Chain A
Amino acid sequence: MLKLLPNFARWSRAAAALTCMATLTGCDLNFWRMDGHQSTMVVEGPVAQEQLNLFIVTVWVTLVIFIIVGGVFAYATWKFRARTEADEHAEPPPQGHGNPLVELGLIGGSVLALVIIAIPTLKAIWFTYDVPAAEKANAYEITATGYQWWFRFEYLTEQATVDASVKTPLVTSNELVIPVGRPIRINVRTVDVIHSFWVPKLAGKVDMIPNRANFLWLKADKPGYYWGQCAEYCGDSHAVMRFRVVALGPREFNDWLDQQLQTARNVAPRPADANRPRPQFASLRSFRTNETGITERFEVDPLASWQQKQAPEKGEDAELVATGKQLFSTKACISCHTVRGHAGAGVAGPDLTHVGARTTIAAGLLENNHEQLQRWIHNPGAVKPGNKMAKGYVDNKITLTAADEAALVAYLESLK
């Protein structure tokens, strides 16, 4: 055994070096602030607030118990430990078997502590379950449906135009836009496996389960851009099944709604376009697996970034958009995607009628810009392993040239 001992010094030095490296390279060690985009500790709505308040109650109660019990435990360990050789061989201590009064007192104490938690728990169960009766009349209803691996949102009360005579409930995907200050009642459904709808800053999660009519409610206190994510393991790409919630003031919400209810936008050719040099996209660089698709610029003010996306892109090339529109049909995109007013009524994939006005693509994973759109269209399987679009390419023998990709990207970006 002694032979091994010199290594101990070396090991401890290695461990120390490793720890130092961790502290030096491990960025700022700020994890206790818990103020990220998906924080449950810095919340923006009454449901999440109620859940947070309850959590804080449990933290305080358990902390007090921990200090008392842990204190006694630490004291007992310190006080009664054998310190010397003589202690080790001392006569055994008195062989006491316990004290019923102490036991009963401790049981009583624990029950009391649990009652302190139980009362706000019961209150919160009823509050967070459904929209409070007083606000029912003002509630806004939306159905959210989980797909492997994206979300579909259906505005049940809004009638969107398909053509002059046909209307259909408004459908969007992956970015849920809601009015501020109104309780939103969300029906959660799924078409395949179990998913879970979770926007931590607005409300706790509720699972989307086949054959089960679940729902939740939430309310955003102020305009904002919120991060959400699927929270139930749902297969290969569970980790990249994300979405966003955009909360808008009443006027902005109605403006947005008006735009969404219209059919897809057409880009009229302008005479000046003919001689203008066509915008060149950066040729597709190779992306690392799992490479982030979000830029820091976007993060500075996500809501402003979202608002920018509502306006048409600068320097649109009508000819290129027209080519893209053509390709959208010939390359079988239409069999899964809908672009209301243009071709396509597919329902297996996200509705793309106004995809250009969203901030993200691929279910909240990539920022919606030329580079990421092209990355996604070029090889969807590399971005989101196992997804249906990648399988669709194989099944339908779809190949896209760089020019095709550029045209499709231009078309998708034009769909404001």
Chain B
Amino acid sequence: MDALAKSAFLTKDEHVPTQPKLLTHPTTKGGLMSWLTTVDHKRIGFLYGISGLFFLLVGGFEAMLIRLQLMVPNNDLLTAQQYNTMFTMHGTTMIFLAVMPMSAAFFNFIMPLQIGARDVAFPRLNAFSFWVFLAGAIILNIGWFLPQATHGAPDGGWFGYAPLTSKQFIPKHSIDYWIMGLQLLGVASIAASLNFIVTIINMRAPGLTMMRLPVFVWMTLITSFLLVLSFPFIAIALVEVMMDRQFGTFFFEASGGGMPILWQHLFWVFGHPEVYILILPPMGIVSEILPTFARKPLFGYPIVVFSGACIGFLGFAVWSHHMFTTGLGTIATAAFALMTMTIAVPTGVKIFNWIGTLWNGNLQMRTPMMFALGFVWMFMIGGFSGIMHSAAPADAQQQDSYFVVAHFHYVLIGGSLFGILSGIHYWFPLMFGRKVSEVWGKLSFWVIFIGFNVTFFPMHFLGLNGMPRRTFTYDSNLGWNAANYIATIGALTLGLGIFIYFVVMVYTYFKGERVGRDIWDARTLEWSLPNPPPEYNFRVIPIVHDRDAFWYEKHHVEEIAKEKIELEKVESAHGGIHMPFASIWPFVAGMGLLIGGLAVSALDSNPAPGMHLKLGLSILGGVVMVIGIYFWSIEGNEGYHLHLDADGNPIEDPHAKH
């Protein structure tokens, strides 16, 4: 599995060469330091998950304020300024700080287990990705805690259309935080994605061919490619707008010959693949859950995989359907309209195949299944309003109206979030060895499902009745009162549902019913592990014989048992289980980026007070980052060996540590 890395690991009889004290590998197994230095993909996945859930609550709170402001016409709960900040941060938070990290949490935790690997290909890079993500999240949100007149949280919209984001129109630093925050999140995403790509290509268990990969792993792979290919576009755009703001260049300044429309193209060339980055992982999760609870394989596996890849490719060819009202001209509009319709085919195919999976199955209506079925229904409705948008002239009426708001919440809440919530329910027993009560799980599902539909279904009508998005107030004479009122009631219900969900999860984490291995009678490799999985994952790397590897194992017990004995011999012949050393340096490098990023975005570039502080702190941040990367590279990529007793507990080995 790790043919390339093997040489760097020590054999059983070798002693670890003595190292300078600074480069001593951290060995603590508990406490704060163990989390700061961890390179274990499961722990990093857990960190992503906790951060994602935290920001889901933050973004949800912002959404509640938005809905309360719009509950009645001419409301004055929020000022215009506050409202604009809320919707900007709601969008940015939910996309970059909630859904993406929660997907990343599953990529980290589940994907290596599903391919029979002991960690990702570059464990320290994985840790670095998380710390940079956290730095980006802090910078994005730091404005809440600073003076609102000169700093403030970002308020230029999550799409940040130039030239509104220029210094002329928003002189505050709020936009600088947004630029720097997104830039760092992009760094984190690209680093993590490269890691996942290499892991999936190189570290699959023997016998696990590409066409035997679980669909979730396929979606991880496709999503990672999308991230690696799309984030450079926004990175460039962000650098340009940053230079416009900080150094007075003219990329998007119309007065200097710049082209504001260029921002939209760059943003949406990133932004549309981003939509698939948000939806493909939950599609993968649902494609795991439906077969498990239907107790039969996924219907048309090759077509589901192929259509996922198709969506990935086409995702780069439809960006201008976000720009149908920018005066593209007839030919470009027609081309993008037809391309957009094309993308409905692979998406529809997925829905057909999920339904095909249910057909003739033995459907076990557990909570994860409820969320997964809810996902398919809601995603279908969101898909249909998506088809309506592809008819460009009709879209001229819908663009930037509440119809669009309804559409993308159906795919992002009804789709992405439902998929993620079902995934949490599904893998919770594996992660923590406890199971959520079915009664409370289903109750939270129904409250969320009803609340969600009551919130967003009326918004279709609002949009068709001419209510534009991103408006902090509206007059009472336009026929929008009832739908807005209902939507707010729905939002409160949805909030209650999410609250129940969280309370139940926290309760279960501490006091839930303990369960054994493989409680769902599942089909993929991760369920062959004890729960929670040990730090080395697989005592013996399995050989994969079939697409649903674990299902095959369960139905060929004798053959597998014989094979396991052979494999164990081979495994112990090369000296135990290879484990990577923990390291503090990814954290140090990430903190360097945090300091530098804050300094660059928070301080004025005018010669006024602060100039030297800014320069000094920027340089300090850079130095800390370089120190982190420098020691990271010279500490080397050695690991140690783990030896297990009969129960799978590590035996203390004098050679394994210093």
Task: Give chain B residues whose Cβ lies under 8 Å from the Cβ of A55.
Answer: 388, 391, 394, 397-398
Task: Give chain A residues whose Cβ lies under 8 Å from the Cβ of B400.
Answer: 196, 205, 231-233
User: Who on chain A is nearest to B364 by CB?
Assistant: A82
Task: Give chain A residues whose Cβ lies under 8 Å from the Cβ of B361.
Answer: 80, 93
Instruction: Tell me the minimal C-beta distance from A61 to chain B in angstroms.
Output: 8
Stretch at the interface among A95-103, A133-141, A310-318: A95-103
Q: Which of A1-41 contact B (CB under 8 A)?
A: 1, 4-5, 8, 11, 15, 18-19, 22, 25-41
Q: Is the CB of A125 within 8 A of B392?
A: yes
Q: Is the CB of A58 within 8 A of B394?
A: yes
Does B210 sit within 8 A of A, measured CB to CB?
no
Number of A-B residue pairs with CB-CB distance less than 8 Å in the complex they form: 349
A98-B373 Cα distance, complex, nearest whole Å: 19
A265-B47 Cα distance, complex, nearest whole Å: 71
Q: Is the CB of B364 within 8 A of A18?
A: no
* Chain B interface mostly: helix
A387-B134 Cα distance, complex, nearest whole Å: 37
Task: Give chain B residues whose Cβ lies under 8 Å from the Cβ of A255.
Answer: none
A111-B333 Cα distance, complex, nearest whole Å: 20
Known: A31-B483, A62-B387, A117-B391. A40 touches B464 (CB 8 A): yes
Stretch at the interface among A157-165, A290-298, A400-408: A290-298
A215-B325 Cα distance, complex, nearest whole Å: 10
Q: Is the CB of A121 within 8 A of B169?
A: no
A288-B79 Cα distance, complex, nearest whole Å: 12
Q: Is the CB of B397 within 8 A of A204?
A: yes
Task: Give chain B residues whose Cβ lies under 8 Å from the Cβ of A205.
Answer: 325, 396-397, 399-400
A291-B341 Cα distance, complex, nearest whole Å: 43
Task: Give chain A residues whose Cβ lies under 8 Å from the Cβ of B84.
Answer: 233, 235-236, 238
Instruction: Tell me the minimal C-beta distance from A214 to chain B in angstroms.
Output: 4
Q: Which of B294, B325, B342, B466 contacts A207 (CB 8 A)?
A: B325
Q: Which of B75, B299, B360 contacts A93 (CB 8 A)?
A: B360
Q: Is the CB of A212 within 8 A of B325?
A: no
Task: Give chain B residues whose Cβ lies under 8 Å from the Cβ of A62.
Answer: 384-385, 387-388
Q: Is the CB of A239 within 8 A of B80?
A: yes
Q: Is the CB of A239 within 8 A of B471?
A: yes
Choose among B254, B365, B390, B493 the residue with the greatest number of A CB atoms under 10 Å from its CB. Answer: B254
User: Who on chain A is nearest to B75 by CB?
Assistant: A290
Task: Give chain B residues whose Cβ lies under 8 Å from the Cβ of A229.
Answer: 466, 468
Q: Is the CB of A290 within 8 A of B74?
A: yes
Does B515 sit within 8 A of A, measured CB to CB?
no
A114-B360 Cα distance, complex, nearest whole Å: 29
Stretch at the interface among B23-31, B113-121, B345-353: B345-353
Does A304 sit within 8 A of B, measured CB to CB?
no
Q: Is the CB of B394 within 8 A of A126?
A: no
Instruction: Tell me the minimal C-beta distance from A202 to chain B in angstroms.
Output: 11
Choose among A37, A204, A294, A386 the residue with the greatest number of B CB atoms under 10 Å from its CB. Answer: A204
A87-B294 Cα distance, complex, nearest whole Å: 12
Stretch at the interface among B484-492, B536-544, B601-609: B484-492
Q: Is the CB of A204 within 8 A of B396?
A: yes
Task: Give chain A residues whose Cβ lies under 8 Å from the Cβ of B329.
Answer: 129
Interface size class of B (residues with CB under 8 A): 35 or more
Q: Is the CB of A58 within 8 A of B391?
A: yes
A28-B377 Cα distance, complex, nearest whole Å: 29
Does B473 sit within 8 A of A, measured CB to CB?
yes
Stretch at the interface among B104-112, B181-189, B228-236, B474-482: B474-482
User: Who on chain A is nearest to B484 by CB?
Assistant: A31
Task: Give chain A residues whose Cβ lies under 8 Å from the Cβ of B474.
Answer: 239
Stretch at the interface among B123-131, B156-164, B214-222, B591-599: B156-164
Q: Is the CB of B297 within 8 A of A1?
A: no
Known: A1-B440, A76-B359, A290-B74. A233 touches B397 (CB 8 A): no
Q: Which of B377-426 contact A (CB under 8 A)?
A: 377, 380-381, 384-385, 387-388, 390-401
24 A–B contact pairs at CB < 8 A? A1-B440, A18-B492, A34-B465, A38-B465, A51-B393, A55-B388, A70-B377, A72-B355, A73-B355, A93-B361, A102-B352, A103-B352, A118-B338, A121-B334, A125-B330, A125-B334, A196-B325, A204-B394, A211-B254, A211-B258, A212-B327, A235-B170, A294-B477, A386-B80
Given A36-B480, A290-B473, output 9 extra A-B contacts at Cβ < 8 Å.
A69-B351, A80-B358, A80-B363, A106-B348, A121-B337, A207-B326, A231-B325, A233-B161, A288-B74
Q: Footprint of B on A, CB under 8 Å?
A: 1, 4-5, 8, 11, 15, 18-19, 22, 25-41, 48, 50-52, 54-55, 57-59, 61-62, 65-66, 69-70, 72-73, 76-77, 80-82, 87-88, 90, 92-100, 102-103, 106-107, 110-111, 114, 117-118, 120-122, 124-129, 148, 192-194, 196, 198, 200, 203-207, 209-212, 214-215, 227, 229-240, 288-292, 294, 296, 299, 385-386
